[in-house]
Amino acid sequence: MTRQEDGWTLVAGGAGFIGSHLCRTLLEAGERVLCLDNLQTARLSNLDALSEYPGFRFVRGDISQALPVAITRETGAIARIYNLACAASPVLYQADPEHTMLTNVVGTDRLLRLAEQAGARFLQASTSEVYGDPDVHPQPEAYRGNVSCTGPRACYDEGKRAAETLAFDFARGRRADVRVARIFNTYGPHMRMDDGRVVSNFICQILAGEPLTIYGAGSQTRSFCYVEDTVDALIRLMRAEMRELVPVNIGNPHEITIAELVETLGAIAARSVRVTHRDLPVDDPERRRPDIARARALLGWEPATPLSAGLRQTFAWFAAERRALAGVPPVVRVTAAG
């Protein structure tokens, strides 16, 4: 394997939520970025600010199909591949479960083969969903998970597990230099309004003056990592020299209940919010919280952004989006100080 430090960085899924922040941060750091996305769930507007960089190129393509020539003709110049390509929220990845599975397996295989050909380093964006509905808290990387392989979430959970398997097999076979990040709940600007995740759901409901939908009692916990922190970890992981291939949890170990999230958002919105309750979806995990000891040790990383600060940024972005899309004034005022 050769390494071209000055070659292209390919970001598959680069127009998506985390991918677009990753592209921007890499460009700011001086890397040249090939952004590949099928725009299935991502939006070109996420890339608006990036077209000013001369080292940025967008290619539309679906990794479950043959890679576009605009990518493959650069094979010799691709030095790093981040694979963030896959719809990541249940409502979106369940819309076409076969495509979700093939994106993770066929798509990851294709990109691993590209990495092998290019001699590029490869980072697989895996997910805390590989732990399923965990019965161990917090989850260390050695935990094997509690995943239903037959349920409606399996196309994503098992697809991501299978993608890890491929990545590890390419590494064991010395076909590619591989990194695997297990990304836990992440939030921030560029989340979709309609993807059904709790942070975006709540903010959109507050902005629309609607009651917040809580699934179950609201006692289930989540740990939310701000997207800038997640991107920082991914870049550190890609750049780190690793003595052995191990998956690395990337997330915020600060655990809060959904009810506490509602309170924090209410404070940011400076209004009292109403809630309604609905049944928990099938296989929805009751708790999930990363053990990030490995990320601390290997990458010298931990999340730096307090939840209130990250939520305030996110809230402000959604409010601006809403204004831009609807041409309406903001429904609520974002408080200036934390």
Binding site for a second copy (CB under 8 A): 97-98, 101-102, 105-106, 109, 130, 132, 144-152, 154-155, 158-159, 161-162, 164-166, 168-170, 172-173, 180, 247
Is 132 or 310 the residue whose CB approaches a second copy more closely?
A: 132
Minimum distance of a second copy from residue 243's CB (angstroms): 16
Minimum distance of a second copy from residue 327's CB (angstroms): 39
Is 165 or 276 the residue whose CB approaches a second copy more closely?
A: 165
C-beta separation of 155 from 98 below 8 A: yes
Pick from 152, 147, 148: which is nearest to 134 by CA? Answer: 147
Is 37 or 157 the residue whose CB approaches a second copy more closely?
A: 157
C-beta separation of 250 from 295 below 8 A: yes
Minimum distance of a second copy from residue 15's CB (angstroms): 26
Is residue 156 part of the annotated active site? The answer reads yes
Is 152 or 196 the residue whose CB approaches a second copy more closely?
A: 152
Two structure tokens written together for 45: 């507007």
Name the residue type at position 43.
R
Q: How far apart are CA 227 and CA 189, in angstroms?
A: 8
Q: How far apart are CA 217 and CA 225, in angstroms?
A: 23
Burial, 7: exposed, middle or buried (Cβ in 10 Å; 0-12, 13-18, 19+)?
Answer: buried
C-beta separation of 107 from 36 below 8 A: no
Minimum distance of a second copy from residue 150's CB (angstroms): 5
- 93, 156, 187, 226: the active-site residue: 156
Two structure tokens written together for 230: 């997640």
Catalytic center residues? 156
